Amino acid sequence: MFTQTIHPTVGRLPQGMTPPAAARGEIEGGFGLVTSEFTYGKDVEIYGEDEPAEYVYQVIRGAVRSYKLLSDGRRQINAFYLAGDVFGLETGPLHRLATEAVVDTTVRLVKRNAVEHAATTDVEVVRKLLNVTARDLKHAEDHMLLLGRKTALERVAAFLLEMDRRLTVAGLLALPMCRRDIGDYLGLTLETVSRSLSQLQEQGILDLSGARQILVRNRQRLQTMNA
Amino acid sequence: MFTQTIHPTVGRLPQGMTPPAAARGEIEGGFGLVTSEFTYGKDVEIYGEDEPAEYVYQVIRGAVRSYKLLSDGRRQINAFYLAGDVFGLETGPLHRLATEAVVDTTVRLVKRNAVEHAATTDVEVVRKLLNVTARDLKHAEDHMLLLGRKTALERVAAFLLEMDRRLTVAGLLALPMCRRDIGDYLGLTLETVSRSLSQLQEQGILDLSGARQILVRNRQRLQTMNA
DNA sequence: CGTAGAATTGAACACTCTCAATTAGCGTGG
DNA sequence: CCACGCTAATTGAGAGTGTTCAATTCTACG
């Protein structure tokens, strides 16, 4: 067995522990560097805020949330990373956000200094890093508009459209995250998220077949709600 | 006279009009490319959302707001760019946000395709682009926490600390933007911004000598409010 | 000075939050 | 396979923060 599941009680990758190097591949399909795979259990921290950035990650299977905390525990989730997404890339020495596995999640890792090294000589590598960062920035810009200016219903509609686009399989949207995660992503409470979803169901726009199994019946009306 | 002020009624840089090439310099102190200067009058649009990205800009003097609009006019200001800041850099073909001069503002411009060209061969240039983008992303991440999870008072405190850091001269903070701009930056109404400032003044943390002339009396208490 | 836009302040309202109770869903073990 | 138990999700009622609308004051500038 090449990958390893760390359970919540175990915590994250211990100091000095190297992920198994048996699995090799490429981040973003082309850094041409040695990579490893690693599996994190549900709710396990991958790295903490202000922790040294030692790896760059790519989600192979599962989902990851990145977030910041205030001193009293208020949390803002900046992004959910799903299969294929690259995360954990930094230009400075530290991670500016913490990340956790939303569900059991397998990631591919590349040593950060390997990427750094490649980036000093290869223009294409730096351009890839720029593209990854620019994608995150675009997402952040859209999300600021949502957080600063949209109503609860508009936020939930936007969330559903984003997730619909990113992880709908066979017409069914299977959310990996709980209502609290959604609330912390949208700047709402979990109750408001729940009420908004119920409201969308009453209006016949959705079908909730189980709290996390969503069928989008009227994509167009969701889009118009998105202002 | 090498620079030109366009007044609000005139609008922005007209189609096909090239900024005067008389002034030369460098963006970020080192792209080594030919640049021009241009001056925009107060409230004049520099570029619109989804407009082709033809230039990269650097503020020489003044202040710029970048923002997104919803269809009904709600506005979210993502950032204020002040003297020295680079803005308008895109990896795609279009600007994803609109920008306007907050006050009469002089900018340095570089043709985007000149930057693009330099970036195909010179690793250092791409690294600079990456650094600029990463700085914007870090700002956006911090701002998402503010918009999603902070109270009105915490937002205003954070805003004052940011502006204090970036443009206090001789102990006095001279804001270039109006209350509505601040509100649209912080996800609040202008009235709430005004009330929060009054409240900070009552508590003796600030001294408002004129609505836009602020003396920060107790920086530390502002920092603790910032949670 | 006079005027127009900007900022402040007040009062009532609304949207979202908080707190609480109930229901649903899911994994575990008998 | 079903029952149990725990967590997640829903729903309700009341409270609160920030908004809206309106009036007044301030300030910058012609």
Query: Mind listing the pLDDT tens digit for each residue in B4-60?
Result: 333 333 334 444 444 443 344 446 555 678 999 999 999 999 999 999 999 999 999
Chain B closest-CA separation from residue A41 CA (Å): 26
What is the pTM for the complete model shown?
A: 0.92
The share of chain A scoring above pLDDT 70, in percent, equals 86
pLDDT of residue A215: 96
Cβ of B126 under 8 Å from any chain A Cβ?
yes
pLDDT of residue A29: 52
Determine the distance between A199 (CA) and C20 (C1') in angstroms. Answer: 21
Q: Quick check: A25 pLDDT over 90?
A: no
Mean per-residue pLDDT for A149-170? Answer: 95
Q: Read off the pLDDT band of A28 (50, 70, 90).
A: low
The share of chain A scoring above pLDDT 90, in percent, equals 83
Q: Quick check: B3 pLDDT over 50?
A: no
Q: Quick check: A80 pLDDT over 50?
A: yes
Q: Which residue of A has its CA nearest to B151?
A: A74
Residue owning tokens 């167009």? A220
Q: Read off the pLDDT band of A64 (50, 70, 90).
A: very high
CA distance A11 to B47: 48
Determine the distance between A180 (CA) and C17 (C1') in angstroms. Answer: 14
Residue of B124, B144, B151 to mutate, testing the A interface (most A Cβ within 10 Å of its Cβ): B144
Distances (CA, A) of B127 to A162, A208, B107: 30, 46, 22
Q: What tens digit of pLDDT does each residue of B191-221 get?
A: 999 999 999 999 999 999 999 999 999 999 9
Q: Which of A120, A131, A144 sits opposite B140 (nearest CB)?
A: A144
Q: Is the C-beta atom of A190 closer than 7 angstroms to strand D?
A: yes
Q: Which of residues 141-160 of B touch A (CB under 8 A)?
A: 141-145, 147-150
Long-range CB contacts for residues A47-52, cutoff 8 Å, separation at least 24 = A47/A12, A47/A88, A47/A95, A47/A98, A47/A99, A48/A12, A48/A95, A48/A98, A49/A95, A49/A96, A49/A97, A49/A98, A50/A94, A50/A95, A50/A96, A51/A94, A51/A95, A51/A98, A52/A93, A52/A94, A52/A95
